[in-house]
Amino acid sequence: MRAAVYEGPGNVRVEDVPDPALVLDTDAIVAVTDAAIGGSDLWAYRGYGQRPPGARIGHEFLGLVTEVGADVRTVRPGDRVLAPFMWSCGVCDYCRGGLTSSCLDGGTFSEVGHDGGQGEAVRVPHADGTLVVLPPADAVPATRLLPLSDVMATGHHAALSAGVDHETTVAIIGDGAVGLCAVLAARRLGARRIIAVGHHAERLHLAVDFGASDIVQGSGEETLEKVMSLTGGVDAVCECVGAQAAFDDAFAMTRDGGRVGYVGVPHLVEGIDLSKIFARNIGIRGGMAPARAYLPALLDAVIDGQLDPSAVLDLTLGLEELADGYAMMDDRLALKAHITI
Amino acid sequence: MRAAVYEGPGNVRVEDVPDPALVLDTDAIVAVTDAAIGGSDLWAYRGYGQRPPGARIGHEFLGLVTEVGADVRTVRPGDRVLAPFMWSCGVCDYCRGGLTSSCLDGGTFSEVGHDGGQGEAVRVPHADGTLVVLPPADAVPATRLLPLSDVMATGHHAALSAGVDHETTVAIIGDGAVGLCAVLAARRLGARRIIAVGHHAERLHLAVDFGASDIVQGSGEETLEKVMSLTGGVDAVCECVGAQAAFDDAFAMTRDGGRVGYVGVPHLVEGIDLSKIFARNIGIRGGMAPARAYLPALLDAVIDGQLDPSAVLDLTLGLEELADGYAMMDDRLALKAHITI
């Protein structure tokens, strides 16, 4: 089959690779119909992280089940299914407790030795624990569902980690796909006021479409002053960048006693200086989103028409054009690429 | 009057100082009957922090009101009262919201220009917002009440910040007065299991008296292994030390998705490396305890006989012997000194 392979910084190629096959009785094979390029793929593309050349890439996909192992009970060939970015067993204490990202037998699609989402097919370990069955494509298009595999679940995690409820004034730092999805999530959780903070006018306009009450464009001191003048300090911040400056801004704009929910992978965060938040009782919570645990509720919301994150996908390409998607996202000419296969 | 003055590292002296007088109509004067030496006094004594020589010291006291300003409504001369370690107005948004430690017009007893608790009398700003009226001394002795001014409120804050409830297995790191009070607080909140971790056998025995299910004596890797073998990882940790090693241990012994409540003033904490907790979704919450907000409930619990932190006071001295109290606490010959005046 054809699948994306990371060959080094700035170099992702679609190549011929072996077709996936069932290995364990709990596996399923999914023929991918739709995939996406995500922020962490882009970090890899830019040379951050430990991905070795030759590894697969991509972890956001949906498609049709073609084959299942003998022990698989909840999906069958022909089912249209969505996978979260990590597989999980569904039965360990962490999975039962809703923290599927800490599954004792879990893993991330495209990790070494496993298929990535950007390819024609994927072997899905723990199919029963991992996959959710979707309505048919003519009922709900892929673009509304695909973001649930990662960015929408992660935005939801940011909002939950920040404790957003109907009384909350929340700032969302970051206008990438995760930040925009955090706006959607905060709105869905009933936030009283949502301030979207980012660099890009076009993305901030999308934040308004998604439910932001206010937008603040820029960075550093000026941005901070704008948020403070709008709100006098927010109850909660969703940190959707993963960089030191975003954390510093998050703490500075949070009211004493407030909460910072963080989901940006902390690639460029030196550390949290507790002496700056001790007297102010600001809490920090978040991390890797347990996407699988959130899928049933988010999927229902999409099916009911209450949630539609499809607008984060602003570029559509075929699999053979995948490299163009990376290049355009790297140049910030696209927010998030949808790959049709 | 006589009051303690910080004259430099290792040097706290009781000296003649001016009697306090009402300055604002919202002030009260309290004749101190009982004071205590606390952990943060000891940090100052050891030369950490910014306390200038000549400043007063101490912020844990109770006593009798002798005089009130024209606007004071809730206390009157003759009332036996307790102050938390900070004064607070009681009417700003933070005070009304229960975060009295962030009062917009608050401050800490013994800060520059203000009386300390270790002296014969104290001017109490915002008397209505700050003081709580106590039962008479023959009904409830001072030793049960004095810890509420700081260490008991702080231990309670640690337990609340760690999210302790009846389902929680919690480790308490630190066997100082705050850690021991966190054991009491966790028990009062119904914790399923309480593991007290510290260095001192005698203090850990007190932890058992206070409700610890298990004690682990030692430090570093060995301690961690003991906690893990007892629990397989705890749901929550109360970090009651304020040092890097305690934080590192806290993260290492917390189950994924768990919570670290921290109240140790972070004197010796370099920073929190989020990359170590991101994948594990461990939350961090805590800081300076809003002691005043907790006093009504904690006072009721003491009066009802459900809470008795008096055993943390293991040394009683007169005011003129105060320096001995500092020296003994510094040498770990005493846990916490009660100063009768």
Q: Of A271 and A339, which is predicted with more confidence?
A: A339
Same domain, B101 and B115: yes
Q: Do A281 and B273 touch (CB under 8 A)?
A: no
CATH number for position A103: 3.90.180.10
B286, B305, B332 — which closes off a domain?
Answer: B286
Contacts of A90 (CB under 8 A, 6+ apart): A100, A126, A128, A129, A130, A292
Q: What is the pLDDT of residue B335?
A: 96
DSSP string, B285-304: EE-S--HHHHHHHHHHHHHT
Pick the residue of B50, B254, B256 with the most A CBs within 10 A to test the interface with A by mutation. B256
Q: What is the pLDDT of residue A305?
A: 96
Q: Of the candidates B99, B101, B279, which has its C-beta nearest A288's C-beta?
A: B279
CATH number for position A200: 3.40.50.720
Q: Is A126 helix (H, G, I), strand (E, B) or coil?
A: coil
Same domain, B30 and B141: yes
pTM: 0.95
pLDDT tier at A32, thresholds 50, 70, 90:
very high
Same domain, B146 and B6: yes
Q: Do A280 and B287 touch (CB under 8 A)?
A: yes
Q: What is the mean pLDDT of residues A256-274?
A: 88
Contacts of B238 (CB under 8 A, 6+ apart): B155, B158, B159, B161, B162, B164, B170, B171, B172, B173, B174, B179, B182, B186, B261, B262, B263
Whether B269 shows a pLDDT value over 80: the answer reads: no
Whether A269 shows a pLDDT value over 80: the answer reads: no
Whether B215 shows a pLDDT value over 90: the answer reads: yes
Q: What is the mean pLDDT of residues A246-267?
A: 93
Q: What is the pLDDT of residue B265?
A: 80
Instruction: Please give the single-letter amino acid code of residue A159.
Output: A
Beta bridge partners of A261: A238, A285
Give CA–CA dist A76/A61, Å, rounded.
17
Q: Of the candidates B99, B259, B282, which has its C-beta nearest A256's C-beta?
A: B99
What DSSP state is assigned to residue A268? B
Q: Of the candidates A257, A274, A282, which has its C-beta nearest B272's C-beta?
A: A274
CA angle B65, B66, B70 (to 5 degrees): 90
Same domain, B242 and B231: yes
Same domain, A124 and A144: yes
Q: Which residue has the tokens 């999210």?
A: B163
Q: What is the mean pLDDT of residues A325-338?
A: 97
What DSSP state is assigned to residue B266? -
Q: Do A271 and B271 touch (CB under 8 A)?
A: yes
Residues of B in contact with A288 (CB under 8 A): 278-279, 281
Q: What is the pLDDT of residue B118?
A: 98
What DSSP state is assigned to residue B53? T
Give CA–CA dist B283/B77, Å, rounded.
46
| Pair B57, B39: CB distance under 8 Å | no
User: What is the overall mean pLDDT for chain B?
Assistant: 96
Whether A276 shows a pLDDT value over 90: the answer reads: no
User: What is the overall mean pLDDT for chain A?
Assistant: 96
Residue of A nearest to B265 (CA): A278
| Pair B177, B289: CB distance under 8 Å | no
Same domain, B135 and B187: no
Give CA–CA dist A285/B64, Å, rounded.
43
pLDDT tier at A58, thresholds 50, 70, 90:
very high
Q: What is the pLDDT of residues B291-332, one digit of tens each?
A: 999 999 999 999 999 999 999 999 999 999 999 999 999 999
Q: What is the mean pLDDT of residues A99-122?
A: 97
Q: What is the mean pLDDT of residues B55-77?
A: 98
Q: Do A287 and B273 touch (CB under 8 A)?
A: no
Q: What is the pLDDT of residue A220?
A: 80
Same domain, A138 and A161: no
Q: What is the pLDDT of residue A49?
A: 80
| Pair B339, B34: CB distance under 8 Å | yes
Whether B268 shows a pLDDT value over 90: the answer reads: no
Q: How far is B185 from chain A (nearest CA, A)?
A: 19
Enter the tokens of residue A131. Answer: 């996959």
Instruction: Please give the single-letter amino acid code of residue A51.
Output: R
Residue of B nearest to A162 (CA): B283
Same domain, B223 and B275: yes
Give CA–CA dist B253/B268, Å, rounded.
20
Enter the tokens of residue B247. Answer: 């934080």
Give CA–CA dist B118/B61, Å, rounded.
7
Residues of B in contact with A95 (CB under 8 A): none
Residue of B nearest to A275 (CA): B266
Whether B267 shows a pLDDT value over 80: the answer reads: no
Same domain, A188 and A240: yes
Give CA–CA dist A124/A107, Å, rounded.
10
Q: Do A256 and B102 touch (CB under 8 A)?
A: yes
Mark out chain A residues that contact chain B at CB-CB < 8 A: 94, 97, 99, 101-102, 161, 256-257, 259, 262, 265-266, 269-275, 277-288, 290
Burial of A75 (0-12, 13-18, 19+ CB in 10 A): buried
Give CA–CA dist B110/B60, Å, rounded.
10
Q: What is the pLDDT of residue A219?
A: 80
Same domain, B75 and B158: no
Q: Of the candidates B94, B265, B269, which has its C-beta nearest A256's C-beta?
A: B94
Same domain, B30 and B145: yes
CA-to-CA dists, residue A269 to A21, A200, A273, A291, B205, angstroms: 40, 22, 11, 23, 41
Residue of A nearest to B247 (CA): A274
Same domain, A86 and A179: no
| Pair B272, B248: CB distance under 8 Å | no
Residue B316 CB coordination number (10 Å): 14
CA angle B173, B174, B175 (to 5 degrees): 130
Q: Do A278 and B265 touch (CB under 8 A)?
A: yes
Enter the tokens of residue A211. Answer: 């439910």
Q: How far is B259 from chain A (nearest CA, A)?
A: 9
Give CA–CA dist B326/B320, Å, rounded.
12
Beta bridge partners of A108: A86
pLDDT tier at B243, thresholds 50, 70, 90:
confident
Instruction: Tell me which residue range forms the domain holding B172.
Output: 152-286
Name the helix (H) or strand (E) containing A324: helix A322-330
Whether B46 shows a pLDDT value over 80: the answer reads: yes
Give CA–CA dist A281/A192, Å, rounded.
22
Percent of chain B with pLDDT over 70: 100
Give CA–CA dist A147/A36, Å, rounded.
8
Q: What is the pLDDT of residues A181-203, one digit of tens each?
A: 999 999 999 999 999 999 999 99
Q: Of the candidates B257, B272, B283, which has its C-beta nearest A102's C-beta?
A: B257
Q: Is B106 helix (H, G, I), strand (E, B) or coil?
A: coil
Pick the residue of A95, A281, A285 with the most B CBs within 10 A to test the interface with B by mutation. A281
Q: What is the pLDDT of residue B50?
A: 82
Q: What is the pLDDT of residues B129-175, one digit of tens each?
A: 999 999 999 999 999 999 999 999 999 999 999 999 999 999 999 99
| H-type alpha helices, B150-242 | 151-161, 177-188, 201-210, 220-231
Q: What is the pLDDT of residue B264?
A: 84
Q: Do B262 and A269 touch (CB under 8 A)?
A: no
Pick the residue of A263, A274, A275 with the most B CBs within 10 A to test the interface with B by mutation. A274
Residues of A in contact with B259 (CB under 8 A): 285
Residue B185 CB coordination number (10 Å): 33
Burial of A252 (0-12, 13-18, 19+ CB in 10 A): middle
Contacts of B150 (CB under 8 A, 6+ apart): B36, B38, B59, B60, B84, B85, B289, B291
The domain total for chain A is 2
Q: Do A274 and B278 touch (CB under 8 A)?
A: no
| Pair B298, B289: CB distance under 8 Å | no
